[in-house]
Amino acid sequence: AVPLRVCHQEIVKFDLEIKAAVQDIRDCPGPLSALTELNAAVKEKFRQLRDRIQELEQMAKEQDKESEKQALLREVENHKKQMLSNQAAWRKANLACKIAIDNSEKDQLLQGRDILRQRKTTKESLAESASNITESLMGISRMMSQQVQQSEETVQTLANSSRTILEANEEFKSMSGTIQLGRKLITKYNRRELTDKLLIFLALALFLATVLYILKKRLFPFL
């Protein structure tokens, strides 16, 4: 026989597992085969729970003390009520799941009809799409032609600008040569001016020396 404490634990465990399985049934998306497997598992849990409740009821009847016997019997009644509540929830979950599966199948059928209807209009849609694509390509071709023309004009403008820049560069080169020649002439003139100043200074110094010498001879002949 199963001990009283273990019997209590298993009853609680089976009750929680049944609640979780009922929630799985309520959330089951289908198909019906999956629902059938879930229901089979729930039936087995209910069988195990019923056996444990019967064992607990038998243990209660075997109690020597009347108080303990009545307490266990009340607990058995509570477990039975909870099991009935779980069975009712199980039936509701099955009903809700079957309705959801039926609705899903109906939606799939409607989608299939929509697909057939779409296939009927595919040729017209393709023809219209081809026409639109052709117009789009013609528009793109015109735009590309305009872009090519604009590119040619831009290249021509750049070529003209390049020639202008080259001509300006040649003028700058000639001006640079003229400036360098002028710089050389100025440097040469400056050098000549310095030489002239030096010659004038030497001539002036020689003249002064000659005057001083003459004055010395006349004024101080004894020196």
User: What CATH number did the domain enclosing 108 receive?
Assistant: 1.20.58.400
The residue length of the chain stands at 223
Give the total number of structural domains in the chain.
1
pLDDT tens column, 139-194? 666 766 677 577 677 657 666 766 776 775 777 577 777 778 878 878 887 888 88
Whether residue 68 lies inside any domain: the answer is: yes
Whether residue 42 lies inside any domain: the answer is: yes
Q: Which two tokens stand for residue 166?
A: 């080259």
pLDDT tens column, 109-132? 888 776 667 666 666 765 676 577
Q: Identify whether the C-beta of residue 18 lies closer than 8 Å to the C-beta of residue 46.
A: yes
C-alpha to C-alpha distance for 185 and 178, rounded to whole angstroms? 11
Whether residue 200 lies inside any domain: the answer is: no
Higher pLDDT, 214 or 92: 92
C-alpha to C-alpha distance for 92 and 43, rounded to whole angstroms? 15
Indicate the range of 15-24, 73-82, 147-156 predicted with least confidence: 147-156
3-state SS class at 31: coil
What's the pLDDT score for residue 74?
Answer: 95
Average pLDDT over residues 189-215: 88
Whether residue 161 lies inside any domain: the answer is: no
Whether residue 110 lies inside any domain: the answer is: yes
Whether residue 119 lies inside any domain: the answer is: no
Indicate the range of 1-10, 44-53, 89-98 predicted with least confidence: 1-10
Whether residue 199 lies inside any domain: the answer is: no
What's the pLDDT score for residue 81?
Answer: 97
Residue identified by tokens 């009853």 is 11
- Specify the amino acid at residue 14: F
pTM above the 0.75 mark? no
3-state helix, strand, coil in the chain (%, to 5): 95, 0, 5
Q: Identify whether the C-beta of residue 46 lies closer than 8 Å to the C-beta of residue 36.
A: no
Torsion sign (Cα): 156, 157, 161, 167: positive
Indicate the range of 18-32, 64-78, 118-132, 195-209 predicted with least confidence: 118-132
Q: Which two tokens stand for residue 134?
A: 């052709």
**Residue 17 pLDDT grade (very low, low, confident, very high; cuts 50, 70, 90):** very high
Residue 23 structural domain? 1-114
Whether residue 69 lies inside any domain: the answer is: yes
Q: Give the distance, in angstroms, between the CA of residue 218 and the centroid of all CA atoms in the same chain.
A: 114
What's the pLDDT score for residue 221?
Answer: 73
